[in-house]
Structure 1
Amino acid sequence: MADYDYDLFTIGAGSGGVRASRVAAAHGARVAVAEEYRVGGTCVIRGCVPKKMLVYGAHFAEDLEDAKHFGWDVGERKFDWKKLRDNVLGDVDRLNGLYKQTLENNNVEVFHERATITGPNEITLGSGEKKTAKYILIATGARPHVPTCPGHEYGITSNEAFHLDAIPRRVLIAGAGYIANEFAGIFHQFGAKVTLMNRSDQMLRGYDESVRDRLLQISLMKGIDFRFNANFEKIEKQEDGSLLVFMSNHEPLNVDYVLFATGRVPNVEGLGLEDVGVSVNERGAIQVDGNSRTSVPSIYAVGDVTDRVQLTPVAIREGQAFADTVFGNKPTTLDYSCIPSAVFSHPPIAGVGLTEAQAMQQYGTVKVYTSDFRPMKNVVAHRNERSLYKMICDEPTGKILGIHMIGPDAPEIMQVAAVAVKAGLTKADFDATVAIHPTMSEELVLLK
Structure 2
Amino acid sequence: MTDYDYDLFVIGAGSGGVRAARVAAAHGAKVAIAEEYRVGGTCVIRGCVPKKLLVYGAHFAEDLKDARRFGWNVPAQCDFSWSTLRGNVMEEVDRINGAYTQTLTSHHVEIIAARATVAGPHEVALADNRTVTAKTILVAVGAHPSIPTFPGHEHGITSNEAFHLPDVPKRILIAGAGYIANEFAGLFHQFGAHVIIVNRTQEILRGYDVSIRDRLLQISIMKGLEFRFDAAFQKIERGDNNCLTVHMSNHEPAVVDCVMFATGRSPNTRGLGLETAGAELDQHGAIVVDADNRSTCESLYAVGDVTNRVQLTPVAIREGQAFADTLYGGKPTRVDYDCIPSAVFSHPPLAGVGLTEAQAKEKLGSVRVYTSDFRPMKNVLAGRNERSLYKMVCDGETGRVVGLHMIGPDVPEILQAAAIAVKAGLTKDQFDDVVALHPTMAEELVLMK
For this structure pair, what is the TM-score category when the shorter chain's length is used for normalisation? over 0.9
The amino acid across from 2:26 in the alignment is A
Tell me the equivalent position of 1:216: 217
Output aligned runs, 1:40-439, within 5 Å.
40-75=40-75, 76-439=77-440
State the 1:74 CA deviation. 1.2
State the 1:66 CA deviation. 0.3
The amino acid across from 2:395 in the alignment is D
State the 1:116 CA deviation. 1.1
Contact 2:121 2:276 in 1 (8 A): no
State the 1:275 CA deviation. 2.1
SS in 2 for 1:82: helix
The amino acid across from 1:234 in the alignment is K
Contact 1:182 1:343 in 2 (8 A): yes
State the 1:269 CA deviation. 1.2
The amino acid across from 1:13 in the alignment is A
SS in 1 for 2:118: strand
State the 1:2 CA deviation. 1.2
Contact 2:366 2:395 in 1 (8 A): yes
Paired with 2:232 and 2:101, the residues of 1 have a C-alpha distance of: 42
Tell me the equivalent position of 2:33: 33
SS in 2 for 1:201: coil
Tell me the equivalent position of 1:21: 21
Contact 1:172 1:194 in 2 (8 A): yes
Partner deviation per Cα, 1:42-68 (whole Å, 9 max, x = no partner) = 000000000000000000000000000
Contact 1:69 1:381 in 2 (8 A): yes
Partner deviation per Cα, 1:51-99 (whole Å, 9 max, x = no partner) = 0000000000000000000111112411000000000001000000000
Superposition CA RMSD, Å: 0.6
Contact 1:140 1:267 in 2 (8 A): yes
The amino acid across from 2:140 in the alignment is A
Paired with 2:117 and 2:414, the residues of 1 have a C-alpha distance of: 43
State the 1:307 CA deviation. 3.0
State the 1:276 CA deviation. 1.9
Structure-1-length-normalised TM-score: 1.00
State the 1:261 CA deviation. 0.1
Partner deviation per Cα, 1:327-348 (whole Å, 9 max, x = no partner) = 0010000000100000000000
The amino acid across from 2:392 in the alignment is M
Query: Which 5+ residue runs of structure 2 have no aligned equivalent?
Result: none
Partner deviation per Cα, 1:237-265 (whole Å, 9 max, x = no partner) = 00000000000111100000000000001
Paired with 1:115 and 1:4, the residues of 2 have a C-alpha distance of: 17
The amino acid across from 2:297 in the alignment is V
Contact 2:246 2:253 in 1 (8 A): yes
Structure-2-length-normalised TM-score: 0.99
SS in 1 for 2:68: helix
Tell me the equivalent position of 1:5: 5
Contact 1:8 1:29 in 2 (8 A): yes
253-262 vs 275-284, which deviates more?
275-284
Partner deviation per Cα, 1:354-409 (whole Å, 9 max, x = no partner) = 00000000000100000000000000000000000000000111000100000000
Contact 2:351 2:411 in 1 (8 A): yes
Query: Which 5+ residue runs of structure 1 have no aligned equivalent?
Result: none
Contact 1:149 1:233 in 2 (8 A): yes
Contact 1:281 1:307 in 2 (8 A): no
SS in 2 for 1:205: coil
Paired with 1:281 and 1:358, the residues of 2 have a C-alpha distance of: 26
Identity of aligned residues (%): 69
Contact 1:288 1:307 in 2 (8 A): no
SS in 2 for 1:350: strand
The amino acid across from 2:15 in the alignment is S
The amino acid across from 1:18 in the alignment is V
Could you list the structure 1 runs, at least 4 aligned residues long, displaced by more than 4 angstroms after superposition.
none
State the 1:182 CA deviation. 0.1
SS in 2 for 1:245: strand
Contact 1:173 1:196 in 2 (8 A): yes
Contact 2:200 2:231 in 1 (8 A): yes
